[in-house]
Amino acid sequence: MMKKFKLSGKRILCLFLVAAMSAVFAGCSGTANSSAGSSAASAADKQIVNIGVTDTLGSLNPLTIDATEINKYATAMMFLPLVELNSKMEFESALADSITTKDNKTFTINISKNATWSDGKPVTADDVAFTILRLCSPIIANATISLSTLAGTGDDGFVAKGATSVSGIKVVDDKTLTFTTKQPMALTTFENSYARYIMTVPKSVLGSVSEDSLAKDEWFNSPSVVDGPYIATSVDVNHYISYKANDKYWKGAPKIAKMNIKIVTASQIYAGLQSGEIDFVQQTMAATPQEDYASIEKLGNVKATYGDPVTTQSLFLNTKTIPDARVRQAIQYAIDRQLLLKNLLNGKGEVDEGFLTSVSPYYDKSLTPTAYDPEKAKSLLKEAGWDSSKTLTFYVNSGDTTFVNGSSVIKEELAQVGIKVDIRTVDLATLMSTASSQKFDLLAVQYTYAPVDPYLDIKWLLGGSGSWTNFGSSEIDSALAKTQETSDISELKKQYLTIDTSVQKNVPMINTYVIRSLGAVNNRLKNATPSVFGSFTNIQNWEIQ
């Protein structure tokens, strides 16, 4: 899907840890039998860095991950993507030294000559080709990283069962392969939509494993061979991931021996930062409550950093269950987005239409957001013959406490114009499953559309029947196609304006507000800076001061 939502981690304070987890972290193991033992445990705990996140994890398997931010970054600790975005929103090499194209159809991927697996074997083009082939497997059936644009796959992005190759992938030599698409694709789109999410696995280890077994193989929770900086040692998808350093990492052995991703409730972020039980919070991985922002900024042991406004609180409307555009428009008119921004985010963000925010090079401020107008909403509902006895299901991420509060406000606003909704708060994994099955009327999730290229997100979300929204438009399809044929900023700006204007008119999605999220890092860490993109690209250089 090339989806960019929210990330995850593990639990925090000893006070809140369940008994089953208490043995996992030395610093939360209870009172030692002696002062010497206590000192040793405390010293050991100080050598572990804890990344705090607020959503559960789906999988560490690069072949089945749902491409949410937590899955992407948690998995990339072990299996590098081809490229990554840095803090300046520039693509930089990860596993691939370079990706080039002459015709926007055939992309040449050059794997770093220095890239090796932790067992000393080189990472090869065969490894990448094998990984892509398995991502195209109808048996593994990854539903979110669609390779339908790859030559040799069907419209569903899959190859035939048992296929040993796909025509769009050609291995040139040990460190070079080509990826050919069915239609033209801009290099930026290829890098952002595929190269950032294809995480190579070792063919030498997994090549003989059946596709059915690969989809659920526990090997990924404690792999024997990786090409990234860390190796998972213990995993509980609802609470934590523990890692140890890959001392054979080809970019340099990590300076921190142990790393944990801790899943906590949003209300525990502040307390964890204050106590030192959480060392690092990245802006798209933790839904820190807005009411805690000021307190976090005042902490003496922490440096707080606001991210760019790129994470959108997206409200998706299922156009199959809400087929009348007038009803969808009424929902948009009924929501006071500026008031939500003020009261929920203390104004730290913005209200936009569609997929672009003010930090995108293609943003056009001439598109004025739809104003709050409940009387207009009532008029549209009357015109549409809305049945006021009907109740819409409204799914919300339980890990995002700020928007859980906001959804209650939206429920009241909709009730005032004659629309009843039933709010259902679920964890992120359940929310994603619900979205994929389209078993909802309204569904809200924080979604990070990369400002440099929202192409595939738009194509996927507005892809007609079967997409989250079930909404399709020839006007949007045409504009999207044109974005793949040019690198001219003014032309791209024109096409994305066409798309966002159509979204405002047809309302398959409401950009409720855009968040300037807070990140934070403990002062004891060196070379670690929370940013919307690029926080972990050089995690091997993080140090404990």
Q: Which residues pair with 234 in a beta bridge?
A: 242
Report the sign of the C-alpha dihedral through residues 124, 129, 132, 134, in that order: negative
Same domain, 445 and 315: yes
**17 token code pair:** 């840890």
Same domain, 132 and 206: yes
Is residue 223 one of the residues assigned to a domain? no
Is residue 222 one of the residues assigned to a domain? no
d(CA 182, CA 255): 44
CATH of the domain at 200: 3.90.76.10
Is residue 146 one of the residues assigned to a domain? yes
Same domain, 301 and 323: no
Same domain, 480 and 392: yes
Q: How far is CA 30 from the centre of its chain?
A: 35
Same domain, 418 and 374: yes
Is residue 201 one of the residues assigned to a domain? yes
Whole-prediction pTM value?
0.78
Nearest to 283 by CA among 74, 533, 3, 541: 533
Nearest to 188 by CA among 311, 6, 361: 361
Nearest to 484 by CA among 449, 458, 446: 458
d(CA 319, CA 328): 8
Residue 42 is predicted with a pLDDT of: 54
Q: Which of 182, 214, 246 is the last residue of a domain?
A: 214
**DSSP per-residue string spanning 391-443:** EEEEEEETT-HHHHHHHHHHHHHHHHHT-EEEEEEE-HHHHHHHHHHT--SEE
Report the sign of the C-alpha dihedral through residues 537, 543, 544, 545, in that order: negative
CATH of the domain at 481: 3.10.105.10
Q: Which H helix or E strand runs over 444?
A: strand 442-448
d(CA 133, CA 177): 13
**DSSP per-residue string spanning 72-109:** HHHHHTTS-BSEEE-TTS-EEESSEEEEEESSSSEEEE
Q: Evaluate whether 239 touches 17 at the Cβ level (below 8 Å).
A: no
Is residue 23 one of the residues assigned to a domain? yes
Q: Which of 192, 214, 236 is the last residue of a domain?
A: 214
* Cα torsion through 417, 368, 337, 424, rounded to 10: 70
d(CA 259, CA 199): 20
Is residue 70 one of the residues assigned to a domain? no
Q: Evaluate whether 85 touches 196 at the Cβ level (below 8 Å).
A: yes
Same domain, 105 and 190: yes
Which runs of E-coded beta strand occur in 279-401?
280-281, 302-306, 311-317, 349-350, 391-397
d(CA 154, CA 540): 39
Same domain, 170 and 236: no
Q: Which of 214, 238, 260 is the last residue of a domain?
A: 214
Is residue 4 one of the residues assigned to a domain? no
d(CA 23, CA 31): 12
Same domain, 152 and 258: no
Same domain, 119 and 38: no
Same domain, 503 and 523: no
Domain range holding 347?
311-515
List, in order, residues 6 or more apart from 208 with CB less than 8 Å away.
Answer: none
Same domain, 506 and 379: yes
Residue 321 is predicted with a pLDDT of: 98
Structural domain count, the chain: 3
Q: Give the full edge-to-edge strand order of the sheet including 176-180.
A: 96-101, 106-111, 176-180, 169-173
**331 token code pair:** 């929902």
**Phi, psi for residue 388 in degrees, rounded to 5:** -70, -10
For tokens 């929902």, the residue is 331
Same domain, 301 and 330: no
List, in order, residues 6 or more apart from 490 with CB less than 8 Å away.
Answer: none
Nearest to 410 by CA among 512, 287, 267: 512
List, in order, residues 6 or more apart from 281 with CB less than 8 Å away.
Answer: 51, 52, 53, 269, 273, 288, 518, 519, 520, 521, 530
Please give the C-alpha separations between residue 422 and each of 335, 403, 411, 414, 441, in angstroms, as whole numbers: 16, 15, 8, 11, 10
The angle subtended at Cα 118 by Cα 112 and Cα 124, nearest 5°, is 35
Q: In a structure prediction context, what are the per-residue pLDDT tens digits for the chain, which is 545 residues long?
A: 334 333 333 222 232 233 333 333 333 333 333 333 444 445 556 789 999 999 877 789 999 987 678 889 999 999 999 999 999 889 999 999 999 999 999 999 999 999 999 999 999 999 999 999 999 999 999 877 889 999 999 999 999 999 999 999 999 999 999 999 999 999 999 999 899 999 999 999 999 999 999 988 999 999 999 999 999 999 998 899 999 999 999 999 999 999 999 999 999 999 999 999 999 999 989 988 888 999 999 999 999 999 889 889 999 999 999 999 999 999 999 999 999 999 998 898 999 999 999 999 999 999 999 999 999 999 999 999 999 999 999 999 998 888 999 999 999 999 999 999 999 999 988 999 999 999 999 999 999 888 999 998 899 899 999 899 999 999 999 999 999 988 888 999 999 999 999 999 999 999 999 999 899 999 999 999 999 999 999 999 999 98
Is residue 392 one of the residues assigned to a domain? yes
Structural Rg of the chain based on CA atoms: 23
CATH of the domain at 21: 3.40.190.10
